[in-house]
Amino acid sequence: MSENILEITGLVTRVSGYTILDDLHFSVQENELRVLLGPNGAGKTTLIDMISGRYKPTGGKIHFRGRDITGLPPHKIFKRGICRKFQVPNMYETLRVFDNVMISLAGHRLVVQSLFHKHTAADHERVVEILEFIGLAGKAEYPADALSHGERQWLEMGMLIAADPKMLLLDEPTTGMTEADKQKTAGLIQRIAERHTVLLVEHDMHVVRRLARYVTVLHQGNILAEGSLEDVVANEQVRQVYLGQGKFGGA
């Protein structure tokens, strides 16, 4: 049995008097691919915000790899080994695909310093390996802004991998994609999860069905249900609250 890499106890988030997360207890095991589901306003993105340090919780504790990271700023949480991907790709638009990954590999250096830094053969090989992994080796010389929407998402995932994180937080990475790109993205996430812990927020049930091993459903800032996708689908409370009807369709 794997140990928990992430432990959250009694997490509370209040904004302008409104409670978004309410005494949440949540954990993820090392090397696990966890899918986080829930209707709009359930607290999914807020939970990701708390873990990644984008905002500070009102109460409770977040421990990562046994260390308290509650309220730490994003750059310190990044250094602890947590990388986050937003719905909208974040990259250096006018730089080559290759350079975007190299900068992420260099991590600790500023962008300008990284571009003029003399990279080692090992650095170059690692970037090529990552580009092959994400399916963009053939577009290494393209500027990032020349990529399609799906390719941009894959590039950002490659940039996250280059930083060598212990855990990746993926917030609805298939939003706006074609069905073909969604399936390619699902396959990429599966391969990423072979080497990294992944917490995935996803709304497309076709993608969820392909990826889900263990699912957590949030509702009104707390856990409504957890278990295999089959167990969650069969949960009548989930069917009524999450979908508002007795049919488990798209999320």
List the chain domain ranges: 1-81+166-251, 88-164
224: left (phi over 0), alpha (psi -120 to 50) or beta: alpha
Would the pLDDT of 109 be above 60?
no
Would the pLDDT of 24 be above 60?
yes
- Split at pLDDT 50, 70, 90, the class of 246 is very low
Instruction: Provide the mean pLDDT of the chain.
Output: 89
Q: Which pLDDT tens digit goes with each residue over 128-187?
A: 999 999 999 999 999 999 999 999 999 999 999 999 999 999 999 999 999 999 999 999
Q: Please give the CATH architecture assigned to the domain spanning 1-81+166-251.
A: 3-Layer(aba) Sandwich (3.40)
Would the pLDDT of 245 be above 70?
no
Chain CA centroid to CA 115, Å = 27
Asked if 200 and 170 touch (Cβ cutoff 8 Å), the reply is yes
- Split at pLDDT 50, 70, 90, the class of 251 is very low
Question: At which residue do the structure tokens 């010389």 appear?
Answer: 141
Give residue 250's pLDDT.
41
